[in-house]
């Protein structure tokens, strides 16, 4: 088999945040299977004539099933072409990378993983804040706010998530954050803890809103939550702008 798959991390959306290796792989690919959040100007970097196949998943919308994506990867690689599996953010963070790697390994398909900028780093940069600080924010933790059913996971480490000295980043958590915030308060996280809601990170549509965790929970309660966003809370999330009080 002469086919090859490159798992390319497309970053949070700004094409200029792609790595040099990511751009080279896109320019050499015969087939590009891309996530919804990796579309737009990033696809303009693909080789002219490359076959572009959307395989993204979006909550509440028709999406490609994971087994379909797996079959497409093996099918195209088996035909002897260079395949790019373009994943949003960093491929290794909540991107189902391991499932696709396992399928390729079982089929004997060679592959590589090209890391990239995760949206957590881009959101912090856009807000003008670091993710860590000496003494007061020594730890960073990433969390998915939804399990495979779309609900808040029921096996979370609450003491860790309620640690006021950690920076916590929640992916796919808008829908479940009101419930999460209630549990955080019950486990001792101060209600005035700063929180940042980041939409369209690194794109022209970027919008950053600062709250407290109680204010953000009230803001998201019953709101339309189909657009993707990132939530960051902890001692650094307030930045230089005062946090919005509870609503």
Q: How confident is the model at residue 38 (pLDDT cuts 50, 70, 90)?
A: confident
Which residue among 30, 90, 163, 172 is the active-site one?
172
Predicted local confidence at residue 72, as pLDDT = 97
Q: Where in the chain is the domain with CATH 3.30.950.10?
A: 119-233
Query: Exposed, middle or buried, 119 (CB in 10 Å: 0-12/13-18/19+)?
Result: buried
Q: Where in the chain is the domain with CATH 3.40.1010.10?
A: 4-114
Q: How confident is the model at residue 242 (pLDDT cuts 50, 70, 90)?
A: very low
First to last CA, the chain: 59
The highest-level CATH class for domain 4-114 is alpha beta
| Closest to 111 in 3D by CA, of 27, 4, 2, 1 | 4
The residue among 208 and 38 whose pLDDT is bigger is: 208
Contacts of 90-95 with CB under 8 Å at 24 or more apart are 90/9, 90/11, 90/115, 90/116, 90/117, 90/118, 91/7, 91/8, 91/9, 91/115, 91/116, 92/9, 93/118, 93/120, 93/142, 93/171, 94/142, 94/144, 94/171, 94/172, 95/35
CATH superfamily of 119-233: Tetrapyrrole methylase, C-terminal domain (3.30.950.10)
The answer to whether 57 is a known catalytic residue is yes
Which residue among 35, 87, 163, 174 is the active-site one?
35
**Distance in angstroms (rounded) separating the CA atoms of residues 7 and 22:** 9
**Distance in angstroms (rounded) separating the CA atoms of residues 186 and 162:** 9
Whether 82 and 113 have beta carbons less than 8 Å apart is answered as no
pLDDT digits (tens, 9 = 90+) for 192-223: 999 999 999 999 999 999 999 999 999 999 87
The answer to whether 172 is a known catalytic residue is yes
Which residue among 21, 24, 36, 57 is the active-site one?
57
């Amino acid at each position: 088999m002469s086919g090859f798959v490159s798992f390319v991390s497309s970053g949070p959306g700004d094409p200029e945040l792609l790595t040099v290796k990511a751009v080279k792989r896109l320019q050499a690919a015969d087939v590009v299977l891309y996530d919804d959040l990796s579309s737009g100007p990033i696809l303009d970097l693909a080789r002219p004539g490359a076959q572009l196949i959307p395989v993204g998943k979006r909550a509440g919308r028709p999406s490609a099933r994971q087994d379909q994506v797996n079959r497409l990867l093996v099918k195209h690689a088996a035909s002897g072409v260079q395949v790019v599996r373009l994943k949003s953010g960093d491929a290794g963070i909540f991107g189902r990378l391991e499932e696709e790697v396992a399928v390729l390994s079982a089929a004997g398909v060679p592959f590589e993983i090209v890391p990239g900028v995760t949206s957590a780093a881009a959101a912090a940069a856009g807000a003008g804040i670091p993710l860590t600080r000496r003494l007061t924010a020594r730890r960073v933790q990433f969390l998915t706010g939804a399990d495979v059913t779309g609900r808040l996971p029921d096996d979370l480490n609450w003491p860790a998530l309620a640690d006021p000295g950690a920076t916590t980043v929640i992916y796919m958590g808008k829908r479940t954050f009101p419930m999460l915030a209630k549990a955080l308060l019950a486990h001792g996280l101060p209600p005035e803890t700063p929180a940042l809601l980041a939409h369209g990170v690194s794109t022209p549509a970027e919008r950053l809103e600062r709250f407290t965790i109680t204010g953000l929970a009230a803001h998201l309660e019953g709101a339309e939550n189909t657009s993707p966003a990132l939530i960051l809370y902890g001692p650094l999330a307030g930045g230089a702008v005062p946090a919005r009080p509870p609503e």
